[in-house]
Structure 1
Amino acid sequence: MNVPHWIEVDGRRTRVRVAGDPDRPPILLLHGIGRSLEDWASQFRLLAASHRVIALDIPGFGFSARLREPSSLEVFAHGVARTLDALGENRPVHLVGNSLGGAVAMRLLVAAPERVASLTLVDSAGFGSEVTPLLRLLAVPGLGRLVAAHTTRAGARMLERTIYADPALATEARIEHALAIAEQPDPGSVTYEIARALATWRGVRSRWRSELLAAVAGHPRPTLLMWGDRDRVLPSHQLCAASHLIPHARTHLFAGIGHAPQMECPNEFAELVTEFVGSLTEAGTQRG
């Protein structure tokens, strides 16, 4: 069903979108903090011709209900895995994660390596301490909770404009969507919890990053690292750090693009993902 809809996952309402031939190789798309599966809207048209494409609102974000446990990468990865189970997708998936979604993708690899065929990490969390002050503010005790729970139109507009190199992409429709998410019962508390778990007002914590990347190194998978050179959320020099930490990875730097290249240059993004995943599928067929 190529429209967003809800399914039950362990009794919890979860919003998903699925498109493409179910017999094609599966691609799973994971969004960033405070976002939703709409961040991948243009990719469904471009990727579904050759793949089964799955996106979901990560538990507690978008319009999906949260899990009972305090929010963490482990909790998010568990929710993602259980959503795949509910969809009947038991094959190894090609994970594509943007921002926080990249860290969730890596955590899913560590927790269930048999479920992951490859990683595509897009302006991904986990490779440096620097992050936009807007997100560092969320990690401040007390104040962060207040900010996360009270999204204003001005605040939603500011965050949308931070994401893109081209401010025209921060459309009124996208701002309205952000405000609709903010009205849901869970995103405020979940955003605050994960911001506090992963960062301080100084920046992204180093301990979880080093522990996660050490664990990922124990489960090497074909990896594509992509970044926008005008990213104002996680600066693009973190791509260099990422390429040193995952030395076998392919890399690509988008010129004139911000934090979400899947939205800002969708055609180029889809071509890179399709070529990357296709090369792995072809190699697997030749080995077979």
Structure 2
Amino acid sequence: MTVIVDGIATNYVQEGSGPTVVLLHGWGDSLKTFDGLAKSLKRNYTVVRLDLPGFGGSDAPKETFSLSKYAAFTADFLNKIGQEHIYAYLGHSNGGAVCIKGLASGVLCSDKLVLIASAGIRSDYQGKKKVLRLAAKAAKLPTNLLPKQTQNKLKKRVYGAIGSDLFVAEHLQDTFKKVVSEDVVAEAAMIAQPTLILYGKQDTATPPNYGERYAHQIEKSNLIILDCAGHFVHHDASTKVHTAIEEFLV
């Protein structure tokens, strides 16, 4: 389905019935990353997932977006489709950072929160400036002659070092620079909602110590670190993740 929000054609899926759970994907990803989780949750919940501006089937924003802007856009989207009470937000990677920013500021409101390999910790950003410059150059490399799988592997290697999920499209580079420089770890202390925090032990983009820092900041939180899982922990350990989330939401 498509709805116009703040002038942006926004692709989304709403399915199931019951309390509303909103799923926010990470940078360079789309709502499809939650196909498996949505299938599991829709048996007991109304599951809403959208392609954030610039990703998936949604139009790109004409202005530079920040985490705050993505949070405000999410609130406007939910208002547009008539979702007034949100039982839980669930964010993966940059989607988790958007959730934290929105809930801490009061732009978003929910009863519970689930963070999956959440980004938003940038204390070592200065040390990654060289990698950021490399990433900017990588976006302009003539990789289009390479097989698609090889292109994505090269881009993941570069952008994984700075905590992004895939790569930066040229029209989103200013937004990327804005988002990657934001740190929400201090704001996480303002999260009052019961929070489930899930990280993969093998995650190199948003390592498990990020989860430990968020767990320290969020008073009502429970941290689970899953072995043999990486940044896409909801794919690598899907059964365990789905079970943990369903038990938490009850």
TM over 0.5, yes or no?
Answer: yes
User: What is the match of residue 45 of structure 2?
Assistant: 51
- Deviation for aligned residue 1:271: 1.2
Q: Distance in 2 between matches of 1:195 and 1:82?
A: 21
**2:14 maps to 1:18:** yes
The correspondence for 1:195, drawn from 176, 193, 197, is 176
Q: Distance in 2 between matches of 1:158 and 1:7?
A: 34
- Say what the alpha-carbon RMSD is for the aligned residues: 3.3
- Deviation for aligned residue 1:194: 3.3
1:149-186 deviation digits (Å, cap 9, x = unpaired): 979622214456999xxxxxxxxxxxxxx8xxx9xxx9
The correspondence for 1:77, drawn from 67, 71, 78, is 71
User: What is the match of residue 116 of structure 1?
Assistant: 110
CA contact (8 A) 1:121 1:226 kept: yes
2:185 alignment partner, SS class: helix
Percent identity over the alignment? 24
Q: Distance in 1 between matches of 2:241 and 2:128?
A: 26
- Deviation for aligned residue 1:130: 6.0
- Deviation for aligned residue 1:88: 0.7
Paired residue type of 2:234: Q
Alignment of 1:217-232 (within 5 A): 217-232=189-204
Q: Distance in 1 between matches of 2:41 and 2:235?
A: 13
Q: Distance in 2 between matches of 1:122 and 1:11?
A: 29
User: What is the match of residue 215 of structure 1?
Assistant: 187
User: What is the match of residue 59 of structure 2?
Assistant: 65
1:237 alignment partner, SS class: helix
Q: 1:193 to 1:38 in 2, by over 3 A?
A: same
Paired residue type of 2:2: W
2:14 alignment partner, SS class: strand
The correspondence for 1:89, drawn from 83, 89, 97, is 83
CA contact (8 A) 1:61 1:187 kept: no
The gaps in structure 1 that reach 5 residues or longer are: 164-177, 200-204, 279-288
Q: Distance in 2 between matches of 1:101 and 1:114?
A: 13
**2:237 maps to 1:256:** no
Q: 1:136 to 1:66 in 2, by over 3 A?
A: farther
Q: 1:214 to 1:29 in 2, by over 3 A?
A: same
**2:240 maps to 1:277:** no
Q: 1:266 to 1:161 in 2, by over 3 A?
A: farther
TM-score by length of 2: 0.83
Paired residue type of 2:39: R
1:115 alignment partner, SS class: coil
CA contact (8 A) 1:67 1:75 kept: no
Paired residue type of 2:178: A
Q: 1:216 to 1:144 in 2, by over 3 A?
A: same
1:8-48 deviation digits (Å, cap 9, x = unpaired): 22332101011101xx1111111111110111011121110
- Deviation for aligned residue 1:57: 0.6
**2:2 maps to 1:6:** yes
TM-score by length of 1: 0.73
Higher share of residues assigned helix: 1
Q: 1:151 to 1:77 in 2, by over 3 A?
A: farther
Paired residue type of 2:140: L
1:170-210 deviation digits (Å, cap 9, x = unpaired): xxxxxxxx8xxx9xxx94322x22331244xxxxx4xx32x
Q: 1:219 to 1:244 in 2, by over 3 A?
A: closer
1:79-116 deviation digits (Å, cap 9, x = unpaired): 11111112110103301111101001111213435622
Q: 1:119 to 1:39 in 2, by over 3 A?
A: same
Paired residue type of 1:80: T
Q: Distance in 2 between matches of 1:57 and 1:112?
A: 22
Q: Distance in 1 between matches of 2:12 and 2:133?
A: 28
